[in-house]
Amino acid sequence: MSTLNTTTVGTPAPDTRPKVKPNPKAPRQPLPLLTPEERLRGPAEVALGFTLAQVQVEALRCLQCKNATCVDACPLHINVKGFIGLMSVGDFASAFDKISEESPFPGICGRVCQHELYCERACLLGKKLDPVAIGSLERFAADYHRRTAAGPPPAPPHGGPRVALVGSGPASLIAAYDLIRHGYRVTVFEALHGLGGVLAYGIPNFRLPREIIRDEVNRLRSMGVEFRTDFIVGKTEAVDELFAEGFEAIFLGTGAGLPHLMNIPGENLIGVYTANEYLTRLNLMEAFRFPESDTPIRIGKRVVVVGGGNSAMDAARWSRRMGSDTTIMFRRGRAELRARLEEIEHAEEEGVHFEFLAAPVRLFGDEKGILHEMECIRMQLGEVDESGRPSPVPMPGSEYRMEVDTVVMAIGQSPNPTVQRATPQLLTKRGKVVIDSSGMTSMPNVFAGGDVVRGGSTVILAMRDGRAAAAAIHNALNYQPPEAQPLLAVPLVQTESAAHAEAPVTPDTTQAGVSVPPETAQAGVPVLPEGNLVLAKRLLTPEIAWFEVEAPEIARRWKPGQFIIIRPTKTSERIPLTIVDGDQAKGSITLVVQALGKTSRTTVQLEAGDRLADLLGPLGEPASIENVGNVLCLAGGVGVAELLPVARAFRKAGNHVTALCGARSSSLIILDAELRAAADEVYWATDDGTAGVHGTVVDLMRVWRKGNDGELGLAHVIGPIPMMRAAAEVTREWGVHTYASLNPIMVDGTGMCGGCRVTVGGKVRFACVDGPEFDAHQVDFDELTRRTRAYLAEERVARERHDCSVGLGQ
């Protein structure tokens, strides 16, 4: 069996460096940190990194063991002994190269790998003294390289088979590194607009600066790895389509991005977040910069984070930086916390309180649905459960209440189901992709690894899985590249490093009490799109614009009822828009946008020739189209545009389609000719009576029904929430099954954040993956109304700033 050689090719030159004597009795060097007061000023990195003097002391603590147990303990088998030996004589460039034989991410791993569980736990020095600070030394080598390296050398030859890596998290990234070095042509597909996966959206800048992710990913790009953002496998294209395009193997590294909920009353109140949404808004969308960044977040004065892992610590520490009194509530004791010890200590230093042996059982809101109180119960530890920890047992009669403005649920996550739902031949168990001993799934030449297989895990274990998958792919394809040059380490893109500063970073902006260091200009690794071109535009009303946008993959796959996520600019928030039409021949889609909030107003101002910063889709499930005889299509406002493809599809399926639509005035009626071409009958209502029935869509429904009492097979409604709710009540009276197309607040649009959750039939559903179409008679419209109003105040601020910036607020 062939294997994938991840080490440098060639015979090393004789070592002529002077020998140095280890000094293991020297004290382990403490990692310099910002003071707690400095940390709370903003998201600057807390750990400053070793000084040169500290490196000289720490590297000499290494015993240079003949049988280096630290190497075997490292999930990536980095030559720890080798790179520390090089650092002990001051050869930091060679130390970086030595690390790079096995890992392309020393800057990332030097910061977030749990060294204390692996190489440092195995360090023989640690049996009697403190182990060598391997992680801090690895980080120093990476940061030194970032400050001193020249430009990248030529990429290694890669003319072999094409391999697709789905997701740009740690598993896919290291697989890309191994495969590109062995001559494969590698493409990484990422659903979001920034690269790095959980590294970018899940880990705050104060633990892992964005420029570290950017530069170490750019290293892969300089080696020849291709990256495609805004591309969700299972939606934009299916697995089978990737094979049809010429990819010979596919790796699924989509992670565990589906958040767990507490399943208690009140968890859909305004102010209740999943950790994924909370961290994505702050880390990826930079909500801490609002209103300079368009994405808002509600962080009250009293924040409770539920959970005990690293995500809980990250959310709590962010809350402290936003000025909140923050408590971590954990249903077990301190000893059972799963977060890294240093993260727990940093949280405590920064003023986070801990409430152990307690859990929430109910959340309470005011008349507007805004969280203000929670009921909790005390716990006691019982028998050890399957996690290996004592199980928490509620203590009857110990309930108590506490005032709270924001709750963050950091209680775990499951694999995102998008690829699995779109690929029924993929074997799964409890939501996780099943693989064999080689890493292959139930589909030939489709491999998987990381959290999509394990469930929530760690960065370094995901990398280990990615490396194993790369070897399995190589064994399956058995590509033998021509004689290659030695695969020397490829330097990163040279940038200034704030991460190694000896003093706190000087902020360049202050917003809402949060200092913003320059390195957080863009979360993740942005990739400007080559497509997304606005081909044509026309105004339907002064505030409603029709666009034709270049989007060939979406045009090929979309179905009526599906939507997309867009960002018109790099600072815009992500908003959903229903697809109005698609032209496969032209490779374009049609969108209709109403200028309501800042992002939609910015979109309406685009002109032909402009480009959207991001365009992701098609998303959601298609509308339920079947032949039921007579179908009633109901729409209000801009919902008329979104109704068009659904009405057209119902008619094509053999139904008689009647469209009942509403507008405020005849001058605001849109797409009437197009709607009449799509439906058999079209009737209007206007609020001012200038066209059709004088009144609302519901008034029109009742007038129409008086003359049309025949059987209705189905109704489909889309538009403003009050209109959909009222229409659904009427069709309930009529006994007509009705679907409502919902458009709640979304962030990622892929099911990862849970921000779009709605209650349908008493169960919480995610509109972006389970919808957007739901049984209108089962939707909790009260809750939906409240949740869509969560950011009205913030939206007003953003809109006013936008209007002033374009001269509309004078």
Please state which of the ranges 169-178, 451-460, 489-498 shows the lowest mean pLDDT.
Answer: 489-498
Tokens describing residue 24: 């293991």
**Separation between Cα atoms, residue 540 and residue 546, nearest integer Å:** 7
20 SS3 class: coil
What CATH architecture is 162-258+415-477? 3-Layer(bba) Sandwich (3.50)
Confidence band of 489 (pLDDT split at 50, 70, 90):
very low
| Nearest to 776, CA basis, from 706, 701, 723, 697 | 723
- Show Cβ contacts of residue 658 under 8 Å, excluding neighbours closer than 6 positions: 630, 631, 632, 633, 679, 680, 681, 682, 683, 704, 708
- Show Cβ contacts of residue 426 under 8 Å, excluding neighbours closer than 6 positions: 239, 419, 420, 433, 441, 442, 443, 446
Helices (H), 445-486: 451-454, 459-477
Residue 654's CB: how many other CB atoms inside 10 A?
10
**CATH 1.10.1060.10 domain locations along the chain:** 36-148
For 687-740, the pLDDT digits (tens) are 999 999 999 999 999 999 999 988 999 999 999 999 999 999 999 999 999 999
Pairing of strands 588-594, 614-619: unpaired
Query: How many residues make up the chain in this entry?
Result: 810
How large is the average pLDDT for residues 346-372? Answer: 97
**CATH 2.40.30.10 domain locations along the chain:** 534-619
Residue 12 has pLDDT above 60, yes or no: no
Q: Check residue 689 and give left, alpha or beta (phi > 0: left; psi -120 to 50: alpha).
A: left
Confidence band of 510 (pLDDT split at 50, 70, 90):
very low
Residue 522 has pLDDT above 50, yes or no: no
**What letter does residue 392 receive in the DSSP assignment?**
E
Confidence band of 18 (pLDDT split at 50, 70, 90):
low
Residue 28's CB: how many other CB atoms inside 10 A?
18
How large is the average pLDDT for residues 43-71? Answer: 96
**What letter does residue 276 receive in the DSSP assignment?**
H
- More confidently predicted of 239 and 805: 239
Residue 35 has pLDDT above 80, yes or no: yes
Please state which of the ranges 243-257, 485-499, 635-649 shows the lowest mean pLDDT.
Answer: 485-499
The CB-side HSE value for 774 (13 A sphere, CA atoms) comes to 28
| Nearest to 113, CA basis, from 229, 192, 208 | 208
Fold classified for 630-793: Rossmann fold (3.40.50)
How large is the average pLDDT for residues 208-226? Answer: 95
**Separation between Cα atoms, residue 457 and residue 112, nearest integer Å:** 13
Q: What is the mean pLDDT of the chain?
A: 90
Residue 490 has pLDDT above 90, yes or no: no
For 142-162, the pLDDT digits (tens) are 999 999 987 776 778 888 999
Phi, psi of 141 (to 5 degrees): -60, -40
C-beta of residue 101 within 8 angstroms of C-beta of residue 7: yes
CATH 3.50.50.60 for the 260-412 domain, yes or no: yes
Percent of the chain topping pLDDT 70: 90
603 SS3 class: helix
Residue 809 has pLDDT above 70, yes or no: no
C-beta of residue 205 within 8 angstroms of C-beta of residue 516: no
**Separation between Cα atoms, residue 480 and residue 182, nearest integer Å:** 8
What's the CATH code, domain 534-619?
A: 2.40.30.10
What pLDDT is attached to residue 119?
97
Confidence band of 808 (pLDDT split at 50, 70, 90):
low
**Separation between Cα atoms, residue 467 and residue 478, nearest integer Å:** 16
Residue 513 has pLDDT above 50, yes or no: no
How large is the average pLDDT for residues 645-661? Answer: 98
What pLDDT is attached to residue 528?
42
What pLDDT is attached to residue 511?
31
What pLDDT is attached to residue 480?
82
Residue 385 has pLDDT above 90, yes or no: no
C-beta of residue 255 within 8 angstroms of C-beta of residue 456: no
Residue 496 has pLDDT above 80, yes or no: no
Confidence band of 222 (pLDDT split at 50, 70, 90):
very high
**Separation between Cα atoms, residue 307 and residue 329, nearest integer Å:** 6
Residue 552 has pLDDT above 80, yes or no: yes
Q: Check residue 520 and give left, alpha or beta (phi > 0: left; psi -120 to 50: alpha).
A: alpha
**Separation between Cα atoms, residue 486 and residue 9, nearest integer Å:** 5
Tokens describing residue 629: 């005889």
Phi, psi of 696 (to 5 degrees): -95, 180
741 SS3 class: strand
**Separation between Cα atoms, residue 670 and residue 673, nearest integer Å:** 9
Tokens describing residue 200: 């970018």
Amino acid at 717: V
**Separation between Cα atoms, residue 212 and residue 175, nearest integer Å:** 19
Q: Which residues pair with 187 in a beta bridge?
A: 164, 226
The four Cα atoms 45, 47, 49, 54 give a dihedral, to 10 degrees, of: 160
Helices (H), 489-560: 552-557
pTM of the model: 0.90
Residue 777 has pLDDT above 60, yes or no: yes
**CATH 3.40.50.80 domain locations along the chain:** 630-793
Please state which of the ranges 27-31, 46-50, 480-484 shows the lowest mean pLDDT.
Answer: 480-484
Phi, psi of 548 (to 5 degrees): -110, 125
Confidence band of 486 (pLDDT split at 50, 70, 90):
very low
Fold classified for 36-148: Fumarate Reductase Iron-sulfur Protein; Chain B, domain 2 (1.10.1060)
**What letter does residue 283 receive in the DSSP assignment?**
I
Confidence band of 482 (pLDDT split at 50, 70, 90):
low
**CATH 3.50.50.60 domain locations along the chain:** 162-258+415-477, 260-412
389 SS3 class: coil
Residue 16 has pLDDT above 80, yes or no: no
Output the CA angle 727-617-801, nearest 5 degrees: 75
